[in-house]
Amino acid sequence: MRCTYCRARAGLIRRTCATCARVIEIVDKSAGNVGFQTLVDIFKAEDLSQQQVDRVLDAQVGGGPTIRDRLTSQMTNALMRGLGMPGRQSPEDVRRVRESMNGASGQGTYTPNFHNSQGQEPPTGAH
């Protein structure tokens, strides 16, 4: 089996390699509780590079929202609730916004993104 996220060898039954599994575990544990910057710090402390994290967060698995979409929606909702608003943005909403911003116009194309601009903040949740 090859890793769903980075295509490295994952093992006989595993669909996720150890590195990507760690990224997902951290996201699952932290999402909704910490901001994106804190999450980035945790990844750094775990010795995960930005590339290793990005390829998991931005992996398009089965055409659904990416983990980054999920994170963005959770953080946006947390932020809105903090301001006394309902905060009901779903990962699908985030994906739609992202795709319309990228000009993909819903054709399901893999859009080029900000991977090659190292050190620059991704345009997510920056309000």
Asked if 71 touches Zn ion (CB under 5 A), the answer is no
Spatial distance between the Cα atoms of 83 and 95, rounded to a whole number of angstroms: 23
User: Which residue among 2, 6, 79, 97 contacts Zn ion (CB under 5 A)?
Assistant: 6
Asked if 3 touches Zn ion (CB under 5 A), the answer is yes
User: Which residue among 5, 26, 70, 73 contacts Zn ion (CB under 5 A)?
Assistant: 5
Instruction: Please choose, out of 17-25, 31-39, 80-88, 99-107, the segment that lies near Zn ion by the rule CB under 5 A.
Output: 17-25
Handedness of CA 4, 23, 51, 75 (dihedral sign): positive
Asked if 53 touches Zn ion (CB under 5 A), the answer is no
Spatial distance between the Cα atoms of 28 and 56, rounded to a whole number of angstroms: 13
Asked if 43 touches Zn ion (CB under 5 A), the answer is no
Residue 31: phi and psi, rounded to 5, are: -55, 135
Say how many CA atoms lie within 13 Å of 21 toward its Cβ: 11
Asked if 57 touches Zn ion (CB under 5 A), the answer is no
List of residues contacting Zn ion (CB under 5 A):
3, 5-6, 8, 17, 20
